[in-house]
Amino acid sequence: MLTQTSIQRAWILYAGVVIVALLLVSQLFLVQIVNGEKYTKEAQEQYVGVRSTIFDRGTIYFSQKNEALISAATLKSGFSLIINPSKIENAEEVYKKLSELVEIDKKVFLSRAEKVNDPHEEILRQLDKETAQAIQNLNLEGVMLVREQWRFYPAGSLASQTLGFVGYKGNTLSGRYGLERTYNDILQRGENKLPVNFFAELFSNLSKIIQTNTKNTREGDIITTLEFSTQDTLEKELEEIKNKWNADGVGGLIINPQTGAIYALGNLPNFNPNSFNTVSDQSVFSNPLVENVYEMGSIVKSLTMAIGLDAGVVSSDSTYYDKGYLWLDGKKIQNYDGRGRGTTTMQNVLNKSLNTGAVHVMREVGKETFRDYMYDLGINQKTNIDLPNETKGLTSNLINGKEVDYATASFGQGFAVSPIVITRALCALANGGYLITPHVVSEINYDIGFPQKIEVQKGKQILKKQTSEKISRMLVEVVDTALLNGSVKNEKYSVAAKTGTAQMAKQDGSGYYDDRYFHSFFGYFPAYDPKFLVFLYVTNPKGVQYASETLTKPFINITKFLINYYAIPPDR
């Protein structure tokens, strides 16, 4: 039974705990808030100085399949080497001592050391802590170290054209290219940055927080859909393609055809955003998957066949008579080899990639209906992907064009679109007929407030679900029996795919090269409930003509990786 004395002792003990807690909180408040700036400055000034404004910016993250995050773009801290020429008596001697620790251009150093009326000359930037400490230990008069931060990309060139970089826009550091540009307002940190530690939020003026937050600059970090290992695997395959075939360019992406989430996206040549200022050809900063347009070739036959199936004018086993060529508007259209197959099926049109068969389907559908379907599939639109500078396709020849224009379009020549546009259209074959919105950001983690999930809804249904199932069966048959003569068939997984080979147009518009080709390839799996769609392209590969030779093996390698890495269960 508790006595009055024991109750009083308990209350005294409780009061003591509360008082100690309040003292600790007050001390933490004094350290972090009242004297925080003082202590920070003292810590920084052990290396002599700190810039008046330290660069700050939000982080961009790669995703991982286990939901862990990896920094794709972050901050790195270090020091700048500064000299005060007015305090340097013997510049040669100072240079000699410094050059034993760091690489310095002697002419540059001595010329700056001669500016005796200038108390601040920057010599080197981005020195690490160990090097800074070694320089500090020299105790050189007129030599200072100033703390700084800069943008750092831990994975180097990985996904560089998707990430972009931070550079000067006028006198201001700003996102240039890629996600750094698209989400610059969120990633950029201003002078009125909102407080982020617990005590600052607890004791700061609430009205100030609210006022600051009304500006269109809510600050946060970006989480992408790009999966680190998947991105790395894609880029390694792209590098092998480019090296093997000495190609002008190569690229690819891996997307979820149901949601539009992009797991990997890359092109070669690319660049290292940590040293973007050393790049001589600035065209590598742009993203060809989004910003360039190409005539896609025979992968478009998959869309043409799906349109015919959806319109009810053909089936997989319906036939036509293939002479190997036909004449339209005074122009000859022929199969890639000029050979005729006689009476042949629509399945064989895809298996053998017959141009005359694609034209037959287009004519059965009718050119206006064919055009309307193609436009509904988005080939004349932008996808609104969350990357800058997206380019609209060149498709005007399908408006009141001649029949030959519709004919060439049916097998992927005569109109040009970006890889991301054709990928979105191809996703409709895999996902039940819907247009999706490709995207590379899944979440924004704001410094203040709740995280924002990027919810992207399916768009309009263009093709019937049954059409998606029928074209998928036909494309699985292509892989099982026709692609490299059926040698790449997967016994445990249904894989749908199609190759494309297109002649490249001359820059002056005078026709097509006889020896330059654009190769494309797309495939998805498991075919009847696909988790992944892979698109690959290569421009002007040397010593090879057909996409089946350049891109089949890389596609199969990527397919095997994805199946194993994500533990996709067999569907056969």
Q: What angle do CA 533, 538, 544 make, to 5 degrees?
A: 120
Strand partners of residue 326: 333
Using only the alpha carbons of the chain, give its radius of gyration: 31
The contacts of residue 428 (CB under 8 Å, 6+ apart) are 306, 377, 434, 435, 436, 462, 463, 468
C-alpha distances out from residue 352 to 151, 512, 513, Å: 51, 23, 23
pTM, full prediction: 0.84
The Cα–Cα gap between 505 and 499 comes to: 19
The Cα–Cα gap between 117 and 508 comes to: 57
The answer to whether the beta carbons of residues 88 and 94 sit under 8 Å apart is: yes
* Residue 36 pLDDT: 53
Say which DSSP state 398 is in. G
* Residue 508 pLDDT: 78
> What fold is seen in the domain 227-271+287-565?
Beta-lactamase (3.40.710)
> What are the structure tokens assigned to 287, written together?
């993203």
* Residue 197 pLDDT: 40
The Cα–Cα gap between 558 and 532 comes to: 10
Helix H or strand E encompassing 165: strand 165-169
Strand partners of residue 417: 294
* Residue 532 pLDDT: 98
3-class DSSP string for 472-514: HHHHHHHHHHHHHHHCCCCCCCCCEEEEEEEEEECCCCCCEEE
Q: How high is the mean pLDDT in each 10-residue block of the chain (572 residues)?
A: 62 66 60 50 48 80 93 94 91 92 92 88 91 92 92 97 91 91 91 40 36 55 97 98 97 97 97 94 96 96 98 96 93 93 97 97 96 96 96 90 93 96 98 96 90 86 97 98 96 97 84 91 97 97 95 98 97 93
The answer to whether the beta carbons of residues 566 and 572 sit under 8 Å apart is: no
Task: Say which residue the tokens 């700056």 belong to.
Answer: 112
The contacts of residue 25 (CB under 8 Å, 6+ apart) are none
- Alpha carbon 23 to chain centroid, angstroms: 50
The contacts of residue 345 (CB under 8 Å, 6+ apart) are 316, 317, 318, 319
Task: Say which residue the tokens 């030599």 belong to.
Answer: 143
Using DSSP bridges, classify how beta strands 48-50 and 60-63 pair: parallel, antiparallel or unpaired: unpaired
* Residue 16 pLDDT: 66
* Residue 505 pLDDT: 86
The Cα–Cα gap between 51 and 44 comes to: 10
> What are the structure tokens assigned to 380, written together?
């004349």
